[in-house]
């Protein structure tokens, strides 16, 4: 709840700052137009509106948490409110300012275009005057070069010709100079007449062309104004359509993410069940191991008993060997009582023959029992182990 309130506060403060900034720029634009020093800031106002759009989207996405979609959607919608509000405010202020300044800008633009046409005509006349001056300079240069050639020819002829021929040559040269001067004067006169006619034509044509230019400029301005407003509304419609498309795509992305999160949650549930099953199986394995350890302890006890019995049998064998040694050592001393000793020996032999098979039978039965019990325990161990396998 607190995060939503903070998001609303940021949205309101940002919108107020953006609108105040755009209104200050609109006032500056209008005041500069009134002072005949127009500074067009309408594009800047629209740009601020677009900037507010991106800021609103950024605010909406800043605290968007994909793991908590239900709580994050209101924050995203608050950011989109700021985006639409700043964009609409920027376009509204720009269009209103353009409509207010329409008449004054139209008159000013017409006057500027007329002055531009007149300036172009005057620059054309000045260029023509410069061309005439250049032509005069070229003619003067040609006269100077002609005089230089005449003087050079006169000097060369003075060295090789007589005085009469020099006089005749000077007369001819003088006549040629007169003809050249006459020709140049006639050409200057024709050039001046052509210039006067051109200036008259230009002055008359300038007035007619200025009127035509004014009509053309007015028509072009009206057409451009219509096209610009039409293009602006087209761009606005395209931007809204693109934004709606983006919203739909973003909605699909959010839904897909939500479905993926549900699948992940189900997978985690299955994993937890598998882990619980493994844990229970581990308990069974531990119990089997405990049984096996008890069985091993039993086997150890039985092996100890068997070792004790083997020790007893070894002691009996030792006693028997000692008895035989004693009999041999006393054979000579008891030769007199051989009958009695033979009876004792026969009795002892019979007892040994009787006890030895009995002991061996007990040992055999014990070993068979241990083997059978080990086989049964091993079979039960294998069965329990197979049960634990998946």
If 0-12 CB within 10 Å is exposed, 13-18 middle and 19+ buried, where does residue 59 land? Answer: buried
Question: Rounded to an integer, what distance in angstroms lies between the CA atom of residue 83 and that of residue 52?
Answer: 6
- pLDDT for residue 39: 74
pLDDT tens for the 390 residues of the chain, in order? 445 556 667 777 778 888 888 888 888 887 877 766 777 777 888 888 888 778 777 777 776 776 776 777 777 777 777 777 888 888 888 888 888 777 555 544 444 555 555 556 555 555 655 665 666 666 666 656 656 655 665 555 455 444 555 566 566 656 766 776 676 667 666 766 666 665 565 555 545 555 565 566 556 655 655 565 556 556 666 767 777 787 778 778 878 777 877 777 776 676 666 666 665 655 655 565 566 666 667 666 766 776 776 677 667 657 656 665 665 665 566 466 555 555 655 666 666 556 656 666 666 676 667 667 767 776 776 676 566 655
Indicate the pTM of the whole model. Answer: 0.29
Contact of 56 with 82, CB cutoff 8 Å: yes
Determine the length of the chain: 390
- pLDDT for residue 60: 73
Contact of 15 with 82, CB cutoff 8 Å: yes
- pLDDT for residue 330: 59
Question: Rounded to an integer, what distance in angstroms lies between the CA atom of residue 366 and that of residue 174?
Answer: 166
Question: Rounded to an integer, what distance in angstroms lies between the CA atom of residue 178 and that of residue 192?
Answer: 21
Hey, what are 69's tokens? 């979609």
Hey, what are 14's tokens? 């940002």
């Amino acid at each position: 709840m607190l995060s939503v309130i903070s998001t609303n506060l940021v949205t309101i403060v940002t919108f107020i700052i953006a609108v105040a900034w755009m209104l200050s720029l609109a006032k500056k634009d209008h005041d500069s137009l009134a002072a005949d020093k127009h500074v067009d800031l309408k594009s800047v106002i629209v740009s601020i509106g677009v900037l507010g759009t991106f800021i609103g989207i950024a605010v909406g996405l800043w605290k968007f948490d994909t793991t908590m979609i239900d709580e994050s959607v209101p924050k995203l919608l608050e950011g989109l409110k700021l985006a639409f509000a700043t964009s609409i405010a920027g376009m509204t202020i720009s269009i209103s300012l353009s409509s207010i300044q329409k008449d004054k800008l139209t008159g000013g633009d017409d006057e500027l275009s007329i002055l531009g046409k007149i300036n172009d005509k005057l620059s054309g006349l000045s260029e023509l005057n410069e061309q005439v001056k250049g032509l005069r300079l070229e003619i003067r240069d040609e006269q100077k070069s002609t005089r230089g050639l005449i003087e050079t020819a006169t000097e060369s002829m003075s060295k090789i010709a007589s005085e009469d021929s020099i006089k005749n040559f000077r007369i001819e040269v003088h006549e040629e100079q007169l003809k050249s001067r006459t020709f140049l004067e006639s050409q200057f006169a024709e050039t001046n007449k052509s210039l006067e006619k051109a200036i008259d034509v230009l002055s008359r044509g300038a007035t007619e062309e200025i009127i035509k230019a004014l009509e053309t400029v007015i028509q072009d301005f009206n057409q451009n104004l219509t096209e610009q407003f039409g293009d602006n509304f087209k761009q606005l419609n395209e931007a809204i359509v693109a934004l709606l498309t983006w919203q739909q795509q973003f909605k699909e992305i959010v839904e897909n993410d939500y479905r993926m999160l549900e699948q992940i949650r189900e997978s985690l549930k299955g994993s937890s069940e598998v882990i619980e099953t493994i844990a229970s199986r581990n308990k069974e394995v531990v119990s089997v191991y405990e049984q096996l350890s008890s069985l091993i302890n039993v086997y150890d006890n039985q092996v100890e008993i068997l070792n004790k019995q083997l020790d007893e049998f070894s002691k009996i064998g030792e006693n028997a060997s000692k008895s035989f040694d004693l009999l041999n050592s006393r054979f000579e001393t008891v030769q007199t009582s051989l009958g009695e000793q033979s009876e004792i020996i026969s009795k002892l032999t019979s007892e040994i023959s009787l006890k030895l098979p009995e002991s061996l039978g007990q040992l055999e039965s014990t070993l068979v029992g241990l083997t059978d019990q080990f086989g049964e325990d091993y079979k039960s161990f294998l069965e329990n182990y197979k049960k634990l396998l998946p």
